[in-house]
Amino acid sequence: MFRLLLTIALAIGMLTTLPAAGANGAASASAPASGRPMPDLLLYVQTHAAAGVASPDARVEVTVGQLDSRLRLAPCGRIEPFVPAGGRLWGRTYIGLRCLEGATWSVRLPVTVRVFGPALVTTRPLSAHTALAPGDFTSTEIEWTREPQGVVTDAAQLDNRVLTRHLAIGQPVPLAALRAPQVIAAGDPVKLQGQGRGFAVSADAIALAPAQEGQAVRVRTESGRILTGTARAGRRVEVVF
């Protein structure tokens, strides 16, 4: 964690809006009214944001906002930035600033984190429940942070997935719009495959609810017993005894 020396003038709202900078570029900043150098908040945010981005081709742009001008904070000799609990440096968000010398206050500073990189966009309109194939997409650079959960960046992420909503041509695929296909419907006859210590059994049963691949599903056996197993393709349900 970077340790930053901030003046009290900066802490009470004299932060200037900083220019965006690429993940690998130098982070420039204006000086606050005190004349002391602006601490490298850009580098702090960029470093932590980039840590959550797997692709080496992605670039991160950060804009640091201003504290609420109505704040009246006690003088502080040393201020440290931090990511608030449960926070994520993605889109419009916040970093925390806390005083480590001379006072005990803690405030939130607005920041905007934009991540750009290659992603898959549709080459034709796709309807909900469509099984996805790499040929339906092409790769181009977009802003990943327009989607809260991110977008599909690799064709492998489409494996065994279907859309939950319509996508127009040229639209990126949000990760939130993908799910595993339904392999069992409520009322389907299923083959129950049980595995226990030193034995295996197979029986017929009826699914009591729909399920996707890998989801838990309840079934009723021919004897009326209710069991919970794991849904598999081919209307199979695996149960461990």
pLDDT at site 195 = 85
Residue 1, domain member (yes or no): no
Residue where one domain finishes, among candidates 69, 85, 114: 114
* 212 shares a domain with 202: yes
Which residues span the domain enclosing 18? Answer: 8-114
* 162 shares a domain with 74: no
Q: What is the 3-state secondary structure (H, E, C) of 97-123?
A: EEEEECCCCEEEEEEEEEEEEEEEEEC
Provide long-range contacts, Cβ within 8 A and 24+ apart, for 83-86: 83/48, 84/108
* 103 shares a domain with 61: yes
Residue 25, domain member (yes or no): yes
Residue where one domain finishes, among candidates 137, 158, 179: 179
* 194 shares a domain with 109: no
* 233 shares a domain with 149: no
* 148 shares a domain with 98: no
* 107 shares a domain with 17: yes
User: Encoding tokens for residue 162?
Assistant: 């279907």
Residue 215, domain member (yes or no): yes
Q: CA-CA distance, 185 to 201, in Å (whole number)?
A: 23
pLDDT at site 48 = 74
Residue where one domain finishes, among candidates 62, 80, 114: 114
Q: CA-CA distance, 221 to 158, in Å (whole number)?
A: 34
Number of CB atoms found within 10 A of residue 22's CB? 13
- DSSP 8-state class, residue 54: -
* 86 shares a domain with 13: yes
**Quick one: average pLDDT of 200-209?**
92
Residue 45, domain member (yes or no): yes
For residue 237, what pLDDT band results from cuts at 50, 70 and 90?
A: very high
* 196 shares a domain with 110: no
Residue 3, domain member (yes or no): no
pLDDT in tens, 85-108: 888 889 999 999 989 988 889 999
* Terminal CA-CA length for the chain: 48
CATH number assigned to the domain comprising residue 155: 3.90.1210.10
How many folded domains does the chain comprise?
A: 3
pLDDT in tens, 41-83: 777 787 777 776 767 778 888 888 888 888 888 888 888 889 8
Q: Which of 52, 23, 41 is nearest to 149 (CA)?
A: 52
For residue 23, what pLDDT band results from cuts at 50, 70 and 90?
A: very low
Burial class from Cβ neighbours inside 10 Å (0-12, 13-18, 19+) for residue 182 reads middle
From residue 200, give the alpha-carbon distance in Å to each of 32, 239, 240.
Answer: 72, 10, 9
Residue 79, domain member (yes or no): yes
CATH number assigned to the domain comprising residue 214: 2.30.30.760
Q: Which of 9-18, 45-54, 153-162, 196-205 has the lowest mean pLDDT?
A: 9-18
Residue 2, domain member (yes or no): no
Residue 61, domain member (yes or no): yes
* 102 shares a domain with 49: yes
Residue 180 has pLDDT above 70, yes or no: yes
